[in-house]
Amino acid sequence: MTARPDKYCPIARTLEVVGERWTLLILRDLVLDGPRKFQDLEQSLAGISPNTLSARLKILEDSGIVERRFYSDHPPRAEYLITPKGRELRPVLKTLKRWGERHTRP
Amino acid sequence: MTARPDKYCPIARTLEVVGERWTLLILRDLVLDGPRKFQDLEQSLAGISPNTLSARLKILEDSGIVERRFYSDHPPRAEYLITPKGRELRPVLKTLKRWGERHTRP
Protein backbone atom coordinates (compact mmCIF):
# COMPACT_ATOMS: atom_id res chain seq x y z
CA MET A 1 0.00 0.00 0.00
CA THR A 2 1.26 3.39 -0.88
CA ALA A 3 1.01 6.49 1.23
CA ARG A 4 -2.20 8.47 1.06
CA PRO A 5 -0.98 12.04 1.19
CA ASP A 6 -3.12 14.06 3.56
CA LYS A 7 -3.71 16.84 1.09
CA TYR A 8 -5.44 14.49 -1.33
CA CYS A 9 -7.65 12.90 1.31
CA PRO A 10 -10.76 14.88 2.20
CA ILE A 11 -11.07 13.01 5.50
CA ALA A 12 -7.55 14.02 6.52
CA ARG A 13 -8.18 17.59 5.42
CA THR A 14 -11.30 17.83 7.56
CA LEU A 15 -9.43 16.34 10.50
CA GLU A 16 -6.83 19.09 10.16
CA VAL A 17 -9.62 21.36 11.37
CA VAL A 18 -11.77 19.27 13.69
CA GLY A 19 -9.63 16.22 14.43
CA GLU A 20 -9.11 16.97 18.07
CA ARG A 21 -11.18 16.09 21.11
CA TRP A 22 -11.69 19.61 22.49
CA THR A 23 -12.66 20.95 19.10
CA LEU A 24 -15.41 18.38 18.74
CA LEU A 25 -16.60 19.06 22.28
CA ILE A 26 -16.81 22.79 21.50
CA LEU A 27 -18.97 21.92 18.49
CA ARG A 28 -21.08 19.69 20.71
CA ASP A 29 -21.78 22.56 23.08
CA LEU A 30 -22.60 25.06 20.34
CA VAL A 31 -24.88 22.61 18.56
CA LEU A 32 -26.67 21.40 21.68
CA ASP A 33 -26.84 24.63 23.66
CA GLY A 34 -26.82 27.39 21.04
CA PRO A 35 -24.61 30.50 21.18
CA ARG A 36 -22.15 30.48 24.06
CA LYS A 37 -19.80 32.93 25.64
CA PHE A 38 -16.16 32.08 26.16
CA GLN A 39 -16.80 31.66 29.88
CA ASP A 40 -19.71 29.28 29.22
CA LEU A 41 -17.51 27.05 27.13
CA GLU A 42 -14.68 27.21 29.62
CA GLN A 43 -17.04 26.07 32.34
CA SER A 44 -18.66 23.32 30.32
CA LEU A 45 -15.37 21.92 29.03
CA ALA A 46 -14.01 21.12 32.44
CA GLY A 47 -10.24 20.92 32.30
CA ILE A 48 -9.62 22.97 29.17
CA SER A 49 -7.13 25.81 29.60
CA PRO A 50 -8.14 29.30 28.43
CA ASN A 51 -5.24 29.23 25.98
CA THR A 52 -6.36 25.95 24.45
CA LEU A 53 -9.97 27.06 24.23
CA SER A 54 -8.91 30.29 22.61
CA ALA A 55 -6.70 28.50 20.09
CA ARG A 56 -9.40 25.97 19.19
CA LEU A 57 -12.01 28.70 18.73
CA LYS A 58 -9.59 30.57 16.50
CA ILE A 59 -9.16 27.52 14.25
CA LEU A 60 -12.92 27.04 14.10
CA GLU A 61 -13.48 30.71 13.30
CA ASP A 62 -10.78 30.75 10.63
CA SER A 63 -12.39 27.70 9.05
CA GLY A 64 -15.84 29.28 9.01
CA ILE A 65 -17.30 26.63 11.31
CA VAL A 66 -17.87 29.00 14.19
CA GLU A 67 -18.71 32.69 14.15
CA ARG A 68 -17.95 35.25 16.84
CA ARG A 69 -20.72 37.76 17.29
CA PHE A 70 -20.71 40.86 19.47
CA TYR A 71 -23.93 41.25 21.36
CA SER A 72 -22.82 44.33 23.29
CA ASP A 73 -20.53 47.17 22.30
CA HIS A 74 -20.07 48.85 25.66
CA PRO A 75 -18.56 46.88 27.18
CA PRO A 76 -17.67 44.68 24.20
CA ARG A 77 -19.08 41.21 24.75
CA ALA A 78 -18.97 38.39 22.30
CA GLU A 79 -20.51 34.99 21.93
CA TYR A 80 -19.73 32.09 19.64
CA LEU A 81 -22.20 30.33 17.44
CA ILE A 82 -22.13 27.57 14.89
CA THR A 83 -22.39 28.51 11.21
CA PRO A 84 -24.34 26.64 8.52
CA LYS A 85 -21.02 25.18 7.35
CA GLY A 86 -20.41 23.97 10.90
CA ARG A 87 -23.88 22.47 11.11
CA GLU A 88 -22.98 20.12 8.30
CA LEU A 89 -20.75 18.33 10.79
CA ARG A 90 -23.70 17.47 13.03
CA PRO A 91 -23.97 13.90 11.74
CA VAL A 92 -20.48 13.33 13.20
CA LEU A 93 -21.75 14.26 16.66
CA LYS A 94 -24.86 12.19 16.18
CA THR A 95 -22.88 9.08 15.29
CA LEU A 96 -20.45 9.61 18.18
CA LYS A 97 -23.42 10.00 20.53
CA ARG A 98 -25.19 6.87 19.38
CA TRP A 99 -21.98 4.87 19.49
CA GLY A 100 -21.23 6.11 23.00
CA GLU A 101 -24.73 5.22 24.18
CA ARG A 102 -24.45 1.72 22.79
CA HIS A 103 -20.90 0.85 23.63
CA THR A 104 -19.71 2.88 26.61
CA ARG A 105 -20.97 3.45 30.12
CA PRO A 106 -20.93 6.42 32.48
CA MET B 1 -24.39 26.81 31.98
CA THR B 2 -23.14 24.09 34.22
CA ALA B 3 -20.36 21.70 33.45
CA ARG B 4 -21.24 18.63 31.41
CA PRO B 5 -19.17 15.93 33.06
CA ASP B 6 -17.50 13.78 30.45
CA LYS B 7 -18.64 10.54 32.00
CA TYR B 8 -22.28 11.45 31.51
CA CYS B 9 -21.86 12.58 27.92
CA PRO B 10 -21.84 9.76 25.36
CA ILE B 11 -20.10 12.02 22.82
CA ALA B 12 -17.27 12.73 25.23
CA ARG B 13 -17.01 9.04 26.11
CA THR B 14 -16.69 8.05 22.46
CA LEU B 15 -14.09 10.75 21.94
CA GLU B 16 -12.04 9.23 24.78
CA VAL B 17 -11.52 6.36 22.35
CA VAL B 18 -11.51 7.87 18.87
CA GLY B 19 -11.10 11.60 19.47
CA GLU B 20 -7.68 11.89 17.95
CA ARG B 21 -6.62 12.52 14.41
CA TRP B 22 -4.38 9.47 13.94
CA THR B 23 -6.99 7.17 15.41
CA LEU B 24 -9.57 8.30 12.91
CA LEU B 25 -7.07 7.97 10.07
CA ILE B 26 -6.31 4.40 11.15
CA LEU B 27 -10.05 3.68 10.99
CA ARG B 28 -10.17 5.31 7.58
CA ASP B 29 -7.50 2.97 6.27
CA LEU B 30 -9.06 -0.17 7.72
CA VAL B 31 -12.51 0.76 6.43
CA LEU B 32 -11.36 1.80 2.96
CA ASP B 33 -8.62 -0.73 2.39
CA GLY B 34 -9.58 -3.75 4.48
CA PRO B 35 -7.21 -5.65 6.78
CA ARG B 36 -3.77 -4.06 7.06
CA LYS B 37 -0.47 -4.99 8.54
CA PHE B 38 1.31 -2.69 10.96
CA GLN B 39 3.77 -1.76 8.22
CA ASP B 40 0.98 -0.94 5.78
CA LEU B 41 -0.55 1.50 8.26
CA GLU B 42 2.83 2.98 9.08
CA GLN B 43 3.41 3.64 5.41
CA SER B 44 -0.02 5.07 4.71
CA LEU B 45 -0.04 7.33 7.76
CA ALA B 46 2.99 9.31 6.70
CA GLY B 47 4.57 10.94 9.71
CA ILE B 48 3.20 8.68 12.42
CA SER B 49 5.82 7.22 14.75
CA PRO B 50 5.78 3.46 15.37
CA ASN B 51 5.18 4.13 19.07
CA THR B 52 2.15 6.30 18.38
CA LEU B 53 0.73 3.84 15.86
CA SER B 54 1.23 1.02 18.33
CA ALA B 55 -0.44 2.98 21.15
CA ARG B 56 -3.43 3.96 19.00
CA LEU B 57 -3.93 0.40 17.77
CA LYS B 58 -3.83 -0.81 21.36
CA ILE B 59 -6.59 1.63 22.36
CA LEU B 60 -8.67 0.55 19.36
CA GLU B 61 -8.12 -3.14 20.15
CA ASP B 62 -8.94 -2.67 23.83
CA SER B 63 -12.15 -0.90 22.83
CA GLY B 64 -13.18 -3.67 20.46
CA ILE B 65 -13.08 -1.40 17.42
CA VAL B 66 -10.15 -3.14 15.80
CA GLU B 67 -9.12 -6.78 15.94
CA ARG B 68 -5.64 -8.19 15.56
CA ARG B 69 -5.59 -11.43 13.62
CA PHE B 70 -2.65 -13.72 13.04
CA TYR B 71 -2.49 -14.95 9.50
CA SER B 72 0.75 -16.84 9.89
CA ASP B 73 2.17 -18.72 12.87
CA HIS B 74 5.70 -19.34 11.63
CA PRO B 75 6.83 -16.64 11.58
CA PRO B 76 4.04 -14.95 13.51
CA ARG B 77 2.43 -12.29 11.35
CA ALA B 78 -0.57 -10.23 12.27
CA GLU B 79 -2.92 -7.89 10.54
CA TYR B 80 -5.49 -5.48 11.86
CA LEU B 81 -9.10 -5.34 10.81
CA ILE B 82 -12.15 -3.38 11.75
CA THR B 83 -14.83 -5.12 13.86
CA PRO B 84 -18.61 -4.77 13.48
CA LYS B 85 -18.53 -2.39 16.46
CA GLY B 86 -15.93 -0.33 14.65
CA ARG B 87 -17.97 -0.32 11.46
CA GLU B 88 -20.70 1.57 13.29
CA LEU B 89 -18.38 4.58 13.25
CA ARG B 90 -18.36 4.65 9.45
CA PRO B 91 -20.88 7.48 9.23
CA VAL B 92 -18.32 9.66 11.02
CA LEU B 93 -15.81 9.05 8.24
CA LYS B 94 -18.48 9.57 5.60
CA THR B 95 -19.47 12.97 7.01
CA LEU B 96 -15.84 14.05 7.38
CA LYS B 97 -15.22 13.02 3.77
CA ARG B 98 -18.18 14.88 2.38
CA TRP B 99 -17.39 17.98 4.42
CA GLY B 100 -13.78 17.91 3.25
CA GLU B 101 -14.84 17.55 -0.37
CA ARG B 102 -17.18 20.49 -0.09
CA HIS B 103 -15.18 22.86 2.05
CA THR B 104 -11.48 22.14 1.70
CA ARG B 105 -9.05 21.87 -1.18
CA PRO B 106 -5.99 19.74 -1.88
- Return the residue of B nearest to A21 by Cα: B19
Could you please state the CATH topology (level 3) that the domain comprising B21-103 is classified under: Arc Repressor Mutant, subunit A (1.10.10)
Distances (CA, A) of B91 to A78, A92, B27, B62, B98: 34, 7, 12, 21, 10
Share of chain B above pLDDT 70, in %: 96
| A84 shares contact with chain B (CB less than 8 Å) | no
pTM for the predicted model, two decimal places: 0.93
What integer pLDDT is reported at residue A3 of this predicted model? 66
Query: What is the phi/psi pair of residue B68, to 5°?
Result: -100, 125
Nearest to A11 among B6, B20, B97 (CB): B97
The per-residue pLDDT for range B36-78, each reduced to its tens digit, is 999 999 999 989 999 999 999 999 999 999 999 998 888 889 9
Which residues on chain A are in Cβ contact (under 8 Å) with B100?
A: 9-14
| B53 shares contact with chain A (CB less than 8 Å) | no
Q: Which residues contact A76 (CB under 8 A, 6 or more apart)?
A: A70
Nearest to A8 among B10, B102, B106 (CB): B106
Share of chain A above pLDDT 70, in %: 96
Count Cβ atoms below 10 Å from residue A13 Cβ, excluding itself.
21
Contact A104 B15 (CB under 8 A): no
ipTM for the complex shown: 0.92
How is chain A split into domains, by residue range? Answer: 22-103
Contact A100 B14 (CB under 8 A): yes
- Identify the CATH number of the domain defined by range A22-103: 1.10.10.10
What integer pLDDT is reported at residue B1 of this predicted model? 52
